[in-house]
């Protein structure tokens, strides 16, 4: 639902999303579960988030007994793209400076 809202031009604050109140369709829950098992890829020098390592996705889906692998793969890639964009945008924002000491 939040991804659909973003696609329609609405602003979604992923940080304040209360996951307890949102009931996702089964396929979305399954995609998030697969996505969570995948390893993050970061650039150590710049701190840029590259996304999830997709090399083991087939094994994860087999272990979780995912039936519609093609659809779940598409959803995982969509989730990962949105999350990567969010993390990297957040990384570029200037850090809030604390109170100055004089």
pLDDT tens digit at each of 102 positions of the chain: 556 555 556 666 666 665 556 677 889 999 999 999 999 888 887 778 888 999 999 999 999 999 999 999 999 999 999 888 888 887 777 655 455 554
Closest CA to 35 of 89, 4, 81, 68: 81
In the block, tokens 């570029």 appear at: 92
Domain boundaries, the chain: 25-88
In whole angstroms, what is the distance from residue 54 CA to residue 26 CA?
Answer: 21
30/33 Cα distance (integer angstroms): 5
């Amino acid at each position: 639902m939040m991804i659909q809202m973003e696609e329609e031009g609405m602003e979604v604050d992923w940080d304040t999303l209360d996951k307890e109140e949102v009931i996702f369709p089964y396929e979305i829950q399954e995609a998030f579960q697969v996505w969570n098992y995948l390893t993050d890829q970061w650039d150590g020098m710049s701190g840029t988030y590259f996304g999830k390592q997709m090399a083991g996705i087939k094994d994860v889906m087999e272990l979780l007994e995912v039936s519609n692998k093609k659809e779940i793969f598409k959803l995982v890639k969509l989730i990962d793209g949105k999350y990567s964009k969010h993390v990297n945008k957040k990384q570029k924002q200037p850090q809030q400076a604390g109170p100055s000491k004089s």
